Structure formats: C-alpha cells, structure tokens
Structure 1
Amino acid sequence: YIDMRTISFRAERQMAGSLVLPLLLICLLFSSCATRKDVAYIQTPEQAMTIAAGSMQDAQIRAKDLLTITVESSNPEAVAAFNGIYWTPNQQYSTYAQQARTFLVDNKGNVELPVVGLTHLGGYTLREAETHLKGVLRKYVTDISSVNVKIQNYKYSVIGEVRRPGTYTSENTKVSIFEALANAGDMSIQGVRSEVKLMREGADGKREIVTLDLKDPNILASPYYYLQQGDVIYVQPNDAAAQSANIGAATGIIFSIASLTLSVANILISLLVK
C-alpha cells in the first residue's frame, strides 16, 4: 500500500529544498541591477556645452615635498655649485647629477639650497618658485638662463569601488580626477558617481572632505577637478554593493538557517505522515 499523501509531502519537501538556492541567487541578481544613468559620467541633455573657464589650479609646494631644482646657464661652471656639483678643471659637467639632486621641504616650507642656504618655497606654485629662485640666484650669478623646479613625490590615492585601488605617483602635477580614476582602472559598476569623496590636507594642515558629483558637467569647473599632492579619492559603494557585502558575510548563516528549517520540516512531515 502506497500512501499518496506521503509521496505528495516528500515531493513538496524536495521541491522546496531545490528552490531555496535559486531564489537566493535571483534576489542577489535583481538587487545589483543598475541603469545607464547610474554609471554614466558628465550627464547632460545637450549635444554640446561649454564650461566657463576657471582659474587654473596649479599644485603648490608644501611641507614634506621632495623637489628637484636644476639651474641652467651658458656657463655651467658658474652654476655648478647651485646644482650640488663641485667643478674642477678635469671634471666634466654632469646633467644627470643635476636631475638626481633632491631637496626636502621642511615643515615651515623652507629648503636648504647649496650656497644660498635656507630659502622659503612653501605655498609657491612651481612657476612662482622658479621666478623666485631666479631672483635669488642672480644675486650670485647674473648669467642664469633658466631654473627648473619639479615635485618628485606628487602622489594621490584612489580607494573604494575602483578596479585597482592604490597610491599613484605622477610626474605631471596636473592630474584631473578623471585621470586619477582612469589610472585606478575606473570605477566598478557598483561605485556611486554622484557622491565621490575627496579628502585633502591644505598647506596649513587643515583637512577637508568634499563630495563631488561626477555626473554633473559643472565638475569640470570645480576647484577640486585637479588634484593636489596627497589627495585621497574615495568611491562609495551603492546600496546593492553594500547589500551584497552583507549577504556575502551572512551567506553561511542564511544557508545554515535554511538547512535547519528544512531539517525541522522533514521531521514534522515524517511525524505527520505516520
């Protein structure tokens, strides 16, 4: 004798167990869906638009920067000492030695230069520093053709929902926020384009956190569009990514509860069919 109710209960039990995992996967799939408006940058209905020109945001020299300072002249012997090279009749002028010479900016914005001594460069842009140094050095040597100043440790960090988070060094001190994101492999689809956080420490030591909307075309005119050395960009995860993280952390618990529920159901069904 075959009890049809027993067969029916067992079939329903097996079906319920087989549907648990697919249902969980479907929930995860739909929770991570995003539209084009969620992932597109610089959204504007116009085919073309012009952003008003703003003041150029050049990087400024500040404490802990490493600078290379190269002084050029038609008479290399005259400026050799300023480049840290001690000229002798048998020594050939070395451009490589000039480029390798670095100077640390102290906490007060000063740099210890050969011959000249302590010189304040903190707060200057690179072009302003070059002009200032020309004036200082011409007190010693009139034949100076150029002074070149570069920041060697121009670094910024990109963290959060990007493909390659990390700290990046650039020889170019004119890095936009989009270039920084491109170097980090761009945002993942879970990154929130409208609420990107930028953390910056000023030359006076004050720290600020600003929120940038990369979907707004006016970002191109923002004073934060170009990075300063030491900036940190944080791309926040969207709600779906946050929920996925919570689900991922709780997956074991969920499946344990589901397994326990099925076990209890099995016991109850076994008791009922007897």
Structure 2
Amino acid sequence: MQTHCYSLELRKVGTFALSLLMIGLLFSSCATRKDVAYVQTPEQVMTVASNGLQDARIRAKDLLTVTVESSNPEAVAAFNGIYWTPNQQYSTYAQQARTFLVDNEGNVELPVVGLTHVGGYTMREAESHLKEILKKYITDISSVNIKIQNYKYSVIGEVRRPGTFTSENTKVSIFEALANAGDMSIQGVRTEVKLMRENPDGHREIVTLNLQDPNILSSPYYYLQQGDVVYVQPNDAAAQSANIGAATGIIFSIASLTLSVANILISLLVK
C-alpha cells in the first residue's frame, strides 16, 4: 500500500514538473502594454519642436521623369521626347526613354537641354532650376514636373510584412513605413529600431531610434530617404523562443521519456 502511494506521488511530481515547464515557455513570450506602445507621454496634448519640413533631395542613381507643360504643346514637345509628324499627330518614346538616371555627379542628360545638374535639390528646387534653363529656349512654359520613380525603402525584422516598398509622394515617415509593413509584431523592440542609411557622399550610418520617445517626431531621421533600411530587432523573449522552438521538441521528448521510465520503474517496484 505504501509503495502504491509512493508511485502515485512520483507520477504527480512528474506531471507537475512538465506543467511548470509548459507554463514557463508560455510566459517567456509575454509583454506588457508599456512595452509595445509608441510615443509614450502622460500629456493629453503636447507640442514637439520641429526641424522644418523635410523634402526628399535628388541624389545619385535616382530615376527621374521630367514633364514640361505649356499652353502650346508643340513648342515643348521636344523637351518631353515628343516628335511631331507633318499632320500634327505626335508620338512619344516608351516610358523608360523619358526616365533619366542621375549620375554620380548629380547630373542628368535631358532632351535638347543636355547635361543638367539637379543633385542635392528637392524636386521643387529642381523644377524651378530647370524652368529657368528652359526659358532660354521658350518663354511659354506653364510648369515643369519632376518625379523620383525609384524612391524605395525596406523594412525588415519583427514586422508582419517585411519587404521593399516604393513611395509615390517621396515623403515617408518611420511610422508610415512600419504601417506599410503591417506594423511591428508584439516581439519587436520599440526602443531600439535601427535605421541604416547611405548618404549622398557614400558614407553609411546606422542610427538607433526610440519610437516610444515623443521627440522622435522632431528627429532628422523621422522621414526616410531613398534606400533607407529599417530593422526592427526582436525582444529577448522572441530571441529565446527561436532557440526554445528548436529545442522544445527535444525537451518534451526527454521529459516524456523520463516519465515513461519512471512509470516502468514504479510498476516494477509495485510488483
């Protein structure tokens, strides 16, 4: 009778130990609301200092489209890569023929105008600059429109949809970038987001951003630049679970085997 009771106690101890192991694995990935909230401030209304509006600047390897508008389309046709036929009908090059690559010196080769420097300019500045140049050829110009076609950035790490994204308005904040990537997962570290950037001079930098700090709104890194990479690091629980996930099967197998051996021994002792 005493041996039977002893065997039951051993079984209970084994089951309790296995339960504790499973509970420990479950709670190792828990996070509080404070860990996952952005821009934390106790104030209902707050004002953050501004560094001024930040517009994307044209840089080497950008692909630009340039469109010249006028009340007399024929007069500006050549500047848009358009060639008129005798019956006043016109044809255009394919889209890629009207896309211009900015070279390492910040220059583009434009129809009629030739080599033109636009590197370091915002699009509005480049448009004004080109409009002044075109006035040498024609005065009837309504507007000049320039767009960056390859304004891309990447978001990787602990987000729901990592990948490379293209922006049409060339002005994307760090939060918009994360939203496009499906937001951070619960395991993402909000206080240590890495921003990797290559500057126009080729210098590379890695910046750590705290997205829980309200002052992120006035950071010079709040808006992304072409080619930026945002990396969201996993928290400790996620990093540990990566190892635990690989070892969980082995752990439970060993635990199960240990309980089985204990049951066999207990059965032999009872007999």
Structure 1 and Structure 2 fold alike (TM over 0.5): yes
What is the distance in 2 between the residues matched to 1:231 and 1:94? Answer: 37
What is the distance in 2 between the residues matched to 1:97 and 1:81? Answer: 14
Gap change, CA 1:142 and 1:98, over 3 Å in 2:
farther
CA contact (8 A) 1:70 1:98 kept: no
State the 1:17 CA deviation: 4.2
Aligned residues: 271
The answer to whether the aligner puts 1:243 opposite 2:240 as a matched pair is yes
The answer to whether the aligner puts 1:183 opposite 2:180 as a matched pair is yes
Correspondence for 2:107: 110
Correspondence for 1:173: 170
Correspondence for 2:220: 223
Cα RMSD, aligned residues only: 2.4
The answer to whether the aligner puts 1:41 opposite 2:45 as a matched pair is no
State the 1:90 CA deviation: 2.2
Correspondence for 2:229: 232
What is the distance in 1 between the residues matched to 2:88 and 2:56? Answer: 37
User: Any residues of structure 2 matched to 1:7-26 within 5 Å, and which?
Assistant: 7-26=4-23
User: 1:230-254 CA distances to partner (integer Å, 9 max, x unpaired)?
Assistant: 1111111111111111211211232
The answer to whether the aligner puts 1:65 opposite 2:62 as a matched pair is yes
CA contact (8 A) 1:61 1:121 kept: yes
User: 1:22-69 CA distances to partner (integer Å, 9 max, x unpaired)?
Assistant: 322211222222222111111111111111222222111112211110
Stretch deviating more after TM superposition (257-266 or 70-79) = 257-266
What is the distance in 2 between the residues matched to 1:20 and 1:63? Answer: 62
Q: Structure 2: 5+ residue runs without aligned partners?
A: none
The answer to whether the aligner puts 1:199 opposite 2:201 as a matched pair is no
CA contact (8 A) 1:83 1:98 kept: no
Gap change, CA 1:10 and 1:94, over 3 Å in 2:
farther
What is the distance in 1 between the residues matched to 2:86 and 2:6? Answer: 103
User: Any residues of structure 2 matched to 1:69-218 within 5 Å, and which?
Assistant: 69-92=66-89, 101-218=98-215
Stretch deviating more after TM superposition (90-99 or 40-49) = 90-99
User: 1:209-248 CA distances to partner (integer Å, 9 max, x unpaired)?
Assistant: 1011111111110001111111111111111111111211
State the 1:268 CA deviation: 5.4
What is the distance in 2 between the residues matched to 1:52 and 1:76? Answer: 46
Secondary structure, in 3 states, of the residue corresponding to 1:86? strand
Secondary structure, in 3 states, of the residue corresponding to 2:254? helix
Q: Structure 1: 5+ residue runs without aligned partners?
A: none
TM-score w.r.t. length of structure 1: 0.90
State the 1:182 CA deviation: 0.9
